[in-house]
Amino acid sequence: MAGPEPEGESEPQTEAGPAPEPEDDPAAPAPLHVPRTPTGNAEADAQLDRLADVDHLATDGHVQVYEDVHRGLRDALTALDARPGPPGPPAPYSSNDSNRS
């Protein structure tokens, strides 16, 4: 036979704080695990690595990252176009050359 419960211990003890989130919360951000292959260009690779940031953001935060990466890649390509390249190949021999007899 159980005796009377001591005062103050009639209810189970619970920890204070928020309830733990279930691990399979479909609304939680989930990594996409999209492979990112290095390009060999440090600036482009840094932009591609930035795409990993979306793995930890809610969907509404993806657009800002994608636009930032797009802007960075566009700037990198523009910088490549601005660099002077090697000289072009010489002009092909012309059959209309006036030095021919």
Helical (H) or strand (E) element with 91: none
The CA-based dihedral angle spanning residues 47, 48, 53, 59, taken in that order and rounded to the nearest 10 degrees: 110
- Quote the DSSP letter at residue 10: S
Considering only CA atoms, which of 41, 39, 43, 52 is closest in space to residue 71? 43
Q: Per-residue confidence of the chain (101 residues) as pLDDT tens digits?
A: 555 555 555 555 555 555 555 566 777 777 777 788 898 888 889 998 998 888 888 888 889 999 999 999 999 888 888 777 777 788 787 666 555 55
Q: Is 51 exposed, middle or buried (0-12, 13-18, 19+ CB in 10 A)?
A: middle
**Residues 40 and 22: beta-carbon distance below 8 Å:** no
**Residues 65 and 54: beta-carbon distance below 8 Å:** yes
